[in-house]
Homo-oligomer: A and B are copies of this chain.
Amino acid sequence: MKSEFPLLAAQPGLHYLDSAATAQIHRGALDAVLRHETGSRANVMRGTYALAEAADQAYESARTSAARFLNAAADEIVFTSGATAALNLVAHAFGAGLQAGDRVLVSQAEHHSNFVPWLMLRERQGIALDILPLRPDGQLDLDRLPELLHDQTRLVALTHCSNVTGAVTDVAAVVDAARRVGAKVLLDGAQAVQHGPQDVRVMGIDFYAFSGHKCFAPGGVGVLWARRELLRDLPPFHGGGGMVGEVGPGGFSWAEAPRRFEAGTPPIAQAVGLAAALDWMMGLDWPRLRMREAELCARLLDGLHDIRGLRVLGSMRADRRAPIVSFEMAGLHPHDICQVLDARGLALRGGHHCAQPLLAALGVEACTRASLALYNDAADVAALLDGLRHAAKVLR
């Protein structure tokens, strides 16, 4: 599998364990970018010459790929510059309809990208923000949902999968509770997508957001999916070329969704690269890959359990989590740990992982994170466990 990822193929000594930050790019995605830029590069949407038609078709067919990946319709797919931009889009476009008295529910487990936009919405519109707490095992405390959901709750905006603990949200329970108060449900899928295609219909949610760079695709592109009925009525967020009907000094009319939300020249080659990555992913045997990822994760958790003074954040069970494992080592700072690991070709990240509320809830200031993707193998896990023992020696 590593041979399909040019960077990993070129650096055989590298144990890349930071896919939760950015996954490596698949060669198919890189080739697609290259092919597009050298064979079909033009602006989209308005040109009638052959190159522009090719660019248009490539871009719209990328939309179709993204839709298939989520089991959605193409006209429900908005291309953005990333998950963060997608989440801000919802906070502005959906948020514009909210006012004092309305409530939004988020959780302590959110990445800042699904937390700060709601803090900002609270400042802008005077809504109330409810915060679902974590259980000590890192799972969202869904038992608290009934008391935190109100008739005024308009949106439940939760992570699909924590970028720190790997905890996977019980979506059915969330949707069920949210529907009871008539709230819409947004899932931040940034961490979920690299572990396989998703089904927004089966989940029964309303919004889904993710980034290309976390699913083996180029950076600079992301996806917001929203139910057609919802998208149809939302006001635009960014203004600019392509999202309007008529424009004059008196105002402007809106283009239809999804164009209404794609002001300006979109990331065309990046969307084409994303589609190549998603198409490739859709051809994989995910039940098998998920089992493999879970096995590696279990092996990692087992090994970490045996390291003295090491504490894993969240559950020690591999079955209710994605293969993202963060930990503390008594008396050792994550930066120092990562530095020593780097000397052995182990690429891990230490810090607050843009999840300060989560770290605060777990009583941690910073932690070290190992995240596994489909290209990781048992040797990567073994090297990490070795490396951590070594780091403890070097640093103490």
Instruction: State the CA gap A356–B354 with chains docked (Å).
Output: 42
Question: With A211-B265, A268-B219 as given contacts, are A6 and B241 in contact (CB-CB < 8 Å)?
Answer: no
User: Which of these, B34, B112, B351, contacts A34 with CB under 8 Å?
Assistant: B34
Q: Are B6 and A239 in contact (CB under 8 A)?
A: no
Q: Are A112 and B244 in contact (CB under 8 A)?
A: yes
Instruction: State the CA gap A265–B86 with chains docked (Å).
Output: 12
Report chain B residues within 8 Å CB of A267.
Answer: 81, 219-220, 267, 270
19 intermolecular pairs with C-beta atoms under 8 Å apart: A6-B37, A6-B38, A7-B38, A21-B43, A24-B41, A25-B38, A46-B353, A48-B339, A81-B220, A81-B267, A83-B264, A84-B240, A88-B238, A88-B240, A117-B239, A131-B249, A219-B269, A247-B356, A270-B270
Give the segment of A63-71, A148-156, A342-350 that binds chain B. A342-350
Instruction: State the CA gap A46–B87 with chains docked (Å).
Output: 21
Confirm or deny: A306 has a beta carbon within 8 angstroms of a beta carbon on chain B.
Answer: no
Q: Are B38 and A85 in contact (CB under 8 A)?
A: no
Instruction: State the CA gap A156–B7 with chains docked (Å).
Output: 46
Q: Are B247 and A84 in contact (CB under 8 A)?
A: no
A224 to chain B, nearest CB (A): 13
Q: Are B116 and A263 in contact (CB under 8 A)?
A: yes
Instruction: State the CA gap A87–B241 with chains docked (Å).
Output: 12
Instruction: State the CA gap A188–B361 with chains docked (Å).
Output: 45
Confirm or deny: A115 has a beta carbon within 8 angstroms of a beta carbon on chain B.
Answer: yes
Give the segment of A49-57, A296-304, A322-330 that binds chain B. A49-57
Confirm or deny: A243 has a beta carbon within 8 angstroms of a beta carbon on chain B.
Answer: yes
User: Which of these, B83, B88, B349, contacts A46 with CB under 8 Å?
Assistant: B349
Confirm or deny: A246 has a beta carbon within 8 angstroms of a beta carbon on chain B.
Answer: yes
Q: Are B37 and A10 in contact (CB under 8 A)?
A: no
User: Which of these, B87, B219, B240, B251, contacts A87 with CB under 8 Å?
Assistant: B240
Instruction: State the CA gap A241–B85 with chains docked (Å).
Output: 11
Residues of A within 8 A of B (CB): 6-7, 10, 14, 16, 18, 21-22, 24-25, 30, 33-34, 37-39, 41-43, 46-52, 81-85, 87-88, 91, 111-113, 115-117, 119-120, 123, 129, 131, 211, 213, 218-221, 236, 238-244, 246-249, 251-252, 263-270, 335, 338-339, 341-342, 346-351, 353-354, 356-357, 360
Q: Are B354 and A242 in contact (CB under 8 A)?
A: yes
Report chain B residues within 8 Å CB of A342.
Answer: 48-50
A6 to chain B, nearest CB (A): 4
Q: Are A22 and B46 in contact (CB under 8 A)?
A: no
User: Which of these, B25, B120, B239, contacts A239 with CB under 8 Å?
Assistant: B120
A124 to chain B, nearest CB (A): 9
Which residue, of A218, A249, A265, A347, has the highest number of chain B Cβ atoms within 10 A?
Answer: A265
Report chain B residues within 8 Å CB of A356.
Answer: 246-248
Instruction: State the CA gap A311–B242 with chains docked (Å).
Output: 26
User: Which of these, B10, B113, B265, contacts A84 with CB under 8 Å?
Assistant: B265
A258 to chain B, nearest CB (A): 16
